[in-house]
Structure 1
C-alpha cells in the first residue's frame, strides 16, 4: 500500500513537460511530506557548551567593534537544518550575544519575537518600548514583535545573554524585516514592579493599560523563589515548573514560543513526555544530565541543548545536595494555535 511510484518511473518527456508548466507530481514525494506514524524532524539533539562559546564570543568582541556588528552574536545552529540556516529547530533561533562595558547596541525593531535569557554579568540593560529593563543572571526579558529595543552597558564586566527568536518561522513566512531607529527616551514605570506579586494586578481605576505586553522583564529572583516555594509546598509534584505568562491574560508571554523555568530537586531524575514541539534547555544554576533518545549530554551552568519534537527527554540533577534550575523554550504556543500539538506520553 505504501509502495508509491518513483519520479524516475515517469517518461523523461512527460517530466520535462510538467516542469515547463511549473507542475510537480505528488505521488513520488507523498511519503516525504506525509510520513507514516510521526514526522521525521530535521532538528537533531544538539549540545552547545558555554565554556567553548565564551572565549570565542570574547574574541569576537576584540575583532569586531559594536559599531560594525550592531549585534555581536554567535548563533547556536543545529546541524540537522544546515549551519547556514542559523536555526536551532523548525521555529527557534538561538544566539549568544555579547555586550562590553560602555557599548550601546542601537535601537531597532523587527517582525520576529525575541527574548533574552541573561547568562552572566551585571550593569547592562535593555530598553524596550521606552521601558528600561536591568539585566541580571537568569532574568528573562521580552522584545516582542514590532517593539523598539536597544541594549546599553553601564557596568565594568562583559555581559552575555541567550537570544531566543521565532526567526525561522517568520523568515519562512517571508515576513521578516527590521527598521532602525533613534535612541529611546526612557519612560517611567516598569512592568516587573507593577506585576510583582502573584494573583494581584494593578486596578484600572480609570483605564487599563493599552500595552499588549504589560510585563517585559521577569526577574530570576522572583522565578527562583517561586520554584523553591512550589517544591516545598507540593512535595508530591514530580515536575516543579512554571510558565512565563502575560499577567493580564494568563496566556503565554509571547504568541509563538513558550518559556518556562524548571527546578530539579537534589538528585532528581525527571522524564518529560514525547510532545510534538522541539524544546531548548539552558542551565541557569547547577548541572543536569540530559538524555534524548540514545544521546546523552552533561550540562553545567550556562550550557544549552536542543531536543527535537516527538521525543521523550530525561533530565537528571547532577547534584545530590542542591537543586538545579533550567530555563526552557519550546514551540508549544505555535503548535496549539495550528491545532497540531500532541503529547504522546
Structure 2
C-alpha cells in the first residue's frame, strides 16, 4: 500500500485549528487503526510464574486485612497494554486471589462476568445467588454478570484461585460497576445431578430466570472425560469446552473456556486465530512456543498469547499435562470478527 502523509507534514497552524475544534485527521493514523492483512496487537506473549506470585500474594495477606481489601488480588497485567490498565489481553483480565483461613470476602455483584479456577487449597467456597459452590483444585466456578456472590473459607490453610473476567471490555464500554450486599443465606446446593446420563428436565428450554443452570464445573469430572477421550481417540488432540448444559453454548457470553490434555511426549500445534488466548497449567508441565518465543510452564503457571500467534503446546514428560484455556472467541463470533488461518 502507498505510504500515507504523516502528521508532521501538516502545518502547525492547521493542526492547532483542528485541535481547538476537537478534530483529528485520520490519514496519518489510518494504518495504525486499519493495518494491512492482520491486526497489530498490544497483547504481548508473556508468562506469569506461580512460584513468583505466591510469596507476594501471601505477603499481601499479611499486609492488608480482607476488611481493607474486599478482594485481595494480584493482577496479572500485560505490559503491552500498560501495567496500570490491568489487562492480560484487550478483553481478558486475570488475577490471583487469596483467601486466608476463616476469612469472608463480602457479597457483591458487578457487571463484568467472572470465573474462578481453583489453584491451591481446600475448604473454601463461593456462594452465588444462594448456591454454595465448594472449591477444590481445578474446579471452575462461574459468577456471571449481575449475580450476587461472596467467598468464604472454613479451612486452616490459604486458598488461591485464578480470576478471569471480561472487565477490560466492560470497562471500555463504560458499563463497569459494582454493588455491595449482605451475606447470602444458602438456599440450595449447586449442581444437582440433573444433567447426568444425557437427561434434562422436560421443559428445560423454558428458562425464565436461570440463564446459568450450572455454576460449578468439578475438575475431577472434566479430567476423567479428557482421559476417556484420549483413550478413545488416540491420534487426535483432546480438548473439551465448558458449556451451558441446557443450550450447548459457551458457559459465558464473552470469554470462552476449555481444558486440553497433552498426552506424554505429545505436541499440539494450534492454528493462528483472531482471538487472544490464555493458558493455565492445572496439572503437569509443558513447554509453550508462541511464535518465536519459548517458555517452560509448571503447575499453576499462566501464559498469554496474542491474536494470530502460531502456538505449539509440547509435553516432553512421561506424565500427561492438563491445561485450562480462556479465549476471546465467543464475543468475536457474536460480532462476526472471528477467523482461523493456516499455519505458515
The residue aligned with 1:325 is 322
Could you list the runs of 5+ residues in structure 1 that have no partner in the other structure? none
Residue 204 of structure 1 and its aligned partner are, at CA, apart by 3.6
The residue aligned with 2:30 is 30
Cα deviation, 1:181-215, whole Å, max 9, x if unaligned, reads: 000011124225333x2522233499757301010
The residue aligned with 2:224 is 225
The residue aligned with 1:267 is 265
Say if 1:192 and 1:218, in contact at 8 Å, map to a contact too: no
2-structure distance, mates of 1:302, 1:205: 36
- Decide whether aligned partners of structure 1 residues 7 and 80 sit closer, same or farther in structure 2, where only a CA change above 3 A counts: same
Cα RMSD over matched residues?
Answer: 1.4
Say if 2:77 and 2:94, in contact at 8 Å, map to a contact too: yes
**Which structure 1 residue ranges, 4+ long, deviate > 4 Å from structure 2?**
205-209
Say if 1:47 and 1:297, in contact at 8 Å, map to a contact too: yes
Q: TM-score, normalised on structure 1?
A: 0.97
Residue 236 of structure 1 and its aligned partner are, at CA, apart by 2.6
Secondary structure of residue in 1 paired with 2:3: coil
Say if 1:46 and 1:78, in contact at 8 Å, map to a contact too: yes
Say if 2:99 and 2:160, in contact at 8 Å, map to a contact too: yes
The residue aligned with 1:294 is 292
1-structure distance, mates of 2:129, 2:90: 28
The residue aligned with 1:42 is 42
* Higher alpha-carbon deviation: 108-117 or 202-211: 202-211
The residue aligned with 1:77 is 77
The residue aligned with 1:185 is 185
Could you list the runs of 5+ residues in structure 2 that have no partner in the other structure? none
The residue aligned with 1:161 is 161
Count of aligned residue pairs for this structure pair: 342
Cα deviation, 1:89-114, whole Å, max 9, x if unaligned, reads: 00000000000110000000000000
The residue aligned with 1:120 is 120
The residue aligned with 1:245 is 243
Secondary structure of residue in 2 paired with 1:314: strand
- Decide whether aligned partners of structure 1 residues 206 and 31 sit closer, same or farther in structure 2, where only a CA change above 3 A counts: closer
Cα deviation, 1:278-319, whole Å, max 9, x if unaligned, reads: 000000000000000111110010000100011110011131
Q: TM-score, normalised on structure 2?
A: 0.97
- Decide whether aligned partners of structure 1 residues 87 and 207 sit closer, same or farther in structure 2, where only a CA change above 3 A counts: closer
